[in-house]
Amino acid sequence: MTTHVQEFLAQARVVTRDLRHRGLIQTALRKYETARDRKKAAFNDWQSARQAAAETKWDAINHLDTYLAEFADKMEARGTRVHWAGNAAEAREIILGIIKSKGARSIIKSKAMTAEEIHLNDAMEKAGYEVVESDLGEFIVQLRHEPPYHIVFPAMHLTRDDINELFQKELGSASTREPEELTMIARRALRRKYITADVGITGANFAIAETGMISITENEGNARLTAALPKTMITLVGIEKVLPKLEDLALFLPMLATAGAGQTITGYNTMYGGPRQPGECDGPEEYHVVLLDNRRTELLADPEQRDALHCIRCGACLNVCPIFKNVGGHTYGTTYSGPVGSVITPHLRGLQDWKHLSGSSSLCGACTEACPVKIDLHHHLLRNRRNAAVGEPSFFERLAYRLFAFVINRPGLYRFAKEAGRLTEPLQKLIRDTPLDPARAWTGTRDLPPMPEQSFKEWWEERR
């Protein structure tokens, strides 16, 4: 069986060699950066906005118990049924239970990373239901039978030619290169589904405790249709998405749009307060909110890394991450990719199985600088590495560091090591980039610097 780390390495090898793929992602993200910088400039002071957002989330996460209870009470008061799911299996069971009780056959979904996290589509399809993704990007990756590539831009790895080809094959549409026409093709396929769907499932961007509301932002209007047309609506939301007050959205909505997509504000921002109330003309007859823990409370119990729960899933850290830009989203092999994924996946899915994600970073800190809620992302990678090494140290690695310490702390030995390096340099050149070369991980693609005649310390000694 291949392990997660082997899969990661194999996939990273493929994508880093694929110049077209890397070029596509890098070009798209360069455009994003330009747009984001323009929108950031519209804030009076982006840094104090980040500070305010971080403080609001700190309050929300550190008083999660009270805010969640407040949220649930307020929602239930207007007739929403609130469910608590401890883990992925429970969440699937709750949702399948609702679907079954409604005698539903077809389900329409808008974008929800939490649904990816619990593999909801798989479970619903296995149970015999037809599931259709209504977000354009999600619709595309669903047709390709692959997970979203990026938490905000699920199909960013595809060109319009790729999409045209896919639509021709899967939907039998006529060939076109026009983005508008491609959108229309998807829209025609989807509109029918909205009308016939019995249940609509959405994710959530924020859960407002003060008023008991779910806030969803989107650019296509598909989440509104998903919520408004079917008789039953289900929202699956991670417990960390809580915001204390309604007015917090005044900061968080523009911030999410700016950091996530370089927009002033997302196209559609909707709040859902419950099922259709007496006298209202639309909305679902029944509304269920499923609050998902799935090991988030374990992260909550870790005071050092608790701030990772501040995440609003804007994707900014992915967009600036040079690792993400060169290995792409699918290589991570998990729902949440990029820096935030590398921080939380080891917590959500097991440290030892996923520690390679925390390891595969140069710790450059671009993510931390970009994060609108000031999560200490790259330092959390260090902390995960430390925790992993404490839990299950690698025998060889530890030995290597001990040996290194032994040599480096003894000037005589260190001098000898330098001398040995100089003497073996011609030999190193001979075996360079062969299986005999102990430095092959380096020399496979990079030359080693030539050893100078004299080291600094030798020069210093001589001079004195």
Give the footprint of other proteins on this chain (CB under 8 A): 9, 12-13, 16-17, 22, 26, 322-323, 325-327, 359-366, 368-369, 382, 384-390, 393, 397-398, 401-402, 404-405, 408-409, 411, 414, 418, 421, 441-442, 444-449, 451-452, 454-461
Residue 393's binding partner, choosing from ligand SF4, other proteins, none, with beta-carbon cut-off 5 to 8 A by kind? other proteins
Nearer to other proteins, 122 or 459 (CB): 459
By CB under 6 A, the count of residues binding ligand SF4 is: 14
| Closest distance of CB 368 from ligand SF4, Å | 9
Nearer to ligand SF4, 112 or 316 (CB): 316
Q: Are 151 and 318 in contact (CB under 8 A)?
A: yes
- Establish if 156 lies at the interface with ligand SF4 (CB under 6 A): no
DSSP state of 78: T
Select from ligand SF4, other proteins, none the partner in contact with residue 314, using the beta carbon and a kind-dependent cut-off of 5 to 8 Å. Answer: ligand SF4
Q: Which does 408 bind (CB under 5 to 8 A by kind): ligand SF4, other proteins, none?
A: other proteins
Q: Write the binding mask 319 to 348 for ligand SF4: x where contact by CB under 6 A, - elsewhere.
A: ---------------------x--------
Integer Cα distance of 249 and 167 in angstroms: 37
Cβ closer to other proteins: 188 or 398?
398
What residues contact 128, with CB distance under 8 A and at least 6 apart?
none
Provide the residue count of the chain: 464
| Subset of 444-463 contacting ligand SF4 (CB under 6 A) | none
Pair 253, 217: CB distance under 8 Å: yes
Report strand pairing: 242-243 vs 268-272.
Answer: unpaired
Angle, helix 395-408 to helix 411-423, in steps of 10 degrees: 110
How far apart are alpha carbons 69 and 210 in whole angstroms? 10
* Cross-strand partners of 235: 202, 289
Q: Taking CB under 6 A as the criterion, which residues in 376-415 touch ligand SF4?
A: 377
Query: What region does 445 belong to: left with phi over 0, alpha with psi -120 to 50, or beta?
Result: alpha
What minimum distance in Å lies between the beta carbon of 386 and other proteins? Answer: 4
Residues 354-383 that bind ligand SF4 (CB under 6 A): 370-373, 375, 377
Minimum CB distance to ligand SF4, residue 381 (Å): 12
Residue 113 near residue 216 (C-beta atoms within 8 A): no
Closest CA to 359 of 89, 2, 1, 9: 9
397 binds, among ligand SF4, other proteins, none (CB under 5 to 8 A by kind): other proteins
Work out how close the CB of 159 gets to other proteins at its nearest, in angstroms, rounded to a whole number.
20
Closer residue to other proteins (CB): 54 or 451: 451
Where on the phi/psi map is residue 327: left (φ > 0), alpha (ψ -120 to 50), or beta?
Answer: alpha
Least Å distance, CB 388 to other proteins, is: 6
Tell me whether residue 19 or residue 301 sits nearer to other proteins (CB atom).
19
Q: Which 3-state string (H, E, C) describes 246-257?
A: HHHHHHHHHHHH
Residues contacting residue 239 through CB under 8 Å, at least 6 positions apart: 64, 68, 291, 292, 293, 296, 297
Quick one: what does residue 11 bind among other proteins, ligand SF4, none, with the CB cut-off 5 to 8 Å set by partner type? none
C-beta closer to ligand SF4: residue 50 or 356: 50
251 binds, among other proteins, ligand SF4, none (CB under 5 to 8 A by kind): none
Report yes or no: 289 and 281 within 8 Å, Cβ to Cβ. Answer: no
In the region spanning residues 255 to 314, those forming contacts with ligand SF4, defined by CB under 6 A, are 311-314
What sign for the dihedral angle of Cα 346, 350, 352, 353? negative
* Contact pick of 99, 253, 316, 323 for ligand SF4 (by CB under 6 A): 316
158 contact partners, CB below 8 Å, separation of at least 6? 140, 166
197 vs 216, beta carbon nearer ligand SF4? 216
Smallest gap from Cβ 379 to other proteins, in A, equals 8
Q: How far lies 425's CA from each of 212, 412, 418, 438, 458, in Å?
A: 69, 20, 11, 12, 18
Cβ distance to other proteins smaller for residue 20 or 145: 20
C-beta of 85 vs 316, nearer to ligand SF4: 316
CB of 294 to other proteins, least distance (A): 25
SS3 290: strand
Identity of the residue, 89 or 439, whose beta carbon is nearer to other proteins in the bound complex: 439
d(CA 68, CA 246): 14
375's contact among ligand SF4, other proteins, none, with CB below 5 to 8 A by partner kind, is ligand SF4
Positions in the binding site for ligand SF4 (CB under 6 A)? 311-317, 340, 370-373, 375, 377
